[in-house]
Amino acid sequence: MTNVVFDLSNMFFRSMYIVGGYGSKNYTFDDQFEVNQLMRKIATDISFIIRQTNPSRIIFALDSRSWRKNISIDENEGYKANREKSEYINWDNVFNVMREFGNIMNESGFIKTQIENAEADDIIALWRDELLFKQNQHVIMISADEDVRQLTAFWPWEKGKLAFSTVFNPFATGKKAAKKLYVPDHFNEWLNNSESGDIFNRAIDVDKEDFLRLRDSENMVIEEVNGNFIALKKIFCGDDGDNVPAIYSWIAKDDQGNPKINKRTGEPRVDRITNTKFIKIVEAIGAKDYLDLGEKADLIKEHLATFSGEQPPFDMLERLDRQFKLVVLARTVFPEEIVQTFDEEVKKQLARPNVRPQDWNMSTLLEGTQYVDSSGRDTGNESSIFREVDRLNKELF
């Protein structure tokens, strides 16, 4: 059985910028016409992915205000404090239509999950754990957010029971404009194994045809990643996009101990753990994933002191705890109330009758709403976001 879990917030903003013309101020989403276009656009894009993946269950994860914004960061203003909203966009209307779309999907029988203080990524991680580890079902997480790649996994490595969590980024970006399916170890081996299997493992292997069709679709690339290693790297190197600093930053000094000066700014140059330094530390301390780090705190501090030429002025276990909370997507680091709320809701959600979509399109997703006319036909442009992104990327790159 294959489950598709949408990062609805991520999908919405991508669709919004396509509708608005990538930074153009022509679209403010002040009037109902533009709001209607946005609603139809997201429905078109999501129905396209549903047809591509052919899932047995569909789940929408929505953002709430993040609990991580309450975490103190000495080096900067705080988690995601570097993000600025475009002043010309009516964000109230955008968020209202996002909530409305989630409600429409929920009323149509799909699962919508939104938990106070949880980000969509947190909810996706909780659903991944429930469906993959507890129920041994495939999970395809739909998001262009690179953070989600740390959730790729397989469970367990046992013939007849193997299932995978993968991340599908349906937005073709870059010079080669390829869509990406991020997969864990053993996925390609499983996918390329032509054995049909016995009657007992057929429940999982019937989904292989859907993965093969997705793999062979236009402009698709499968990329194998190590989710644990991605999380480990983010702990050490931070995440500029979310305003998360590296595990340690220091003033660079020359051989005489004087601060090095940034020629562009004239200010002392700040160094931090970058990819090269991260690889050296990981190799030196023998860490395989972030679960190993607590026992290696003294070794980590020793290597940070070697790179910086000074003893880091903080408790390493406390700093590791902060980094875990800021970048790791795992129920063990989420606030207890978020996990508890999810666990209370999950059985109720899974008990709902499955909506098995086949040839869904924008009109069927929005049937009975103001966004399609009485005949069920759309009242706007149903061009796909993916073709539009491909076109724009060819122009830009």
Domain ranges of the chain: 2-225+335-392, 228-327
Q: Average of pLDDT values for 192-197?
A: 66
**Superfamily for domain range 2-225+335-392:** 5'-nuclease (3.40.50.1010)
Choose from 178-187, 189-198, 283-292, 352-361 the range with maximum mean pLDDT. Answer: 178-187
Distance from the first to the final alpha carbon of the chain: 39
Q: Average of pLDDT values for 37-47?
A: 92
Q: Average of pLDDT values for 190-215?
A: 71
Task: Say what the pLDDT of residue 248 is.
Answer: 95
Strand partners, 270: 251
Q: Average of pLDDT values for 221-244?
A: 94
* Confidence check: pLDDT of 22 > 80: no
Is-contact 26 20, C-beta < 8 A? yes
Give the pLDDT band of residue 205 (cuts 50, 70, 90): low
Choose from 65-69, 104-108, 196-200, 270-274 the range with maximum mean pLDDT. Answer: 65-69
DSSP E strand stretches across 174-211: 178-183
Least confident of 39-43, 67-71, 163-167, 215-219: 215-219
Residue with tokens 């016995």: 198
Is-contact 379 35, C-beta < 8 A? no
pLDDT over 70 for what percent of the chain?
87
Pairing assessment for the beta strands 138-142 and 153-155 based on DSSP bridges: unpaired
Q: Rounded to an integer, what is the distance from CA 337 to the centroid of its chain?
A: 22
Q: Side chain identity at 374, as an amino acid letter?
A: S
Q: Which of 21, 19, 63 is nearest to 45 (CA)?
A: 19
Q: Say which residue, 162 or 374, is predicted with more confidence.
A: 162
What confidence tens digit (pLDDT) does each residue in 329-349 have? 999 999 999 999 999 999 899
Q: Average of pLDDT values for 271-299?
A: 89
What average pLDDT does the chain have? 86
Q: Which of 39, 55, 63, 60 is nearest to 108 (CA)?
A: 60
SS3 content of the chain, % helix, strand, coil (to 5): 45, 15, 40
CA-to-CA distance for 82 and 130, rounded, in angstroms?
A: 33
Residue with tokens 């669709």: 15
Q: Side chain identity at 73, as an amino acid letter?
A: I
* Confidence check: pLDDT of 203 > 50: no
Q: Say which residue, 203 or 397, is predicted with more confidence.
A: 203
Task: Say what the pLDDT of residue 363 is.
Answer: 87
Give the pLDDT band of residue 202 (cuts 50, 70, 90): very low
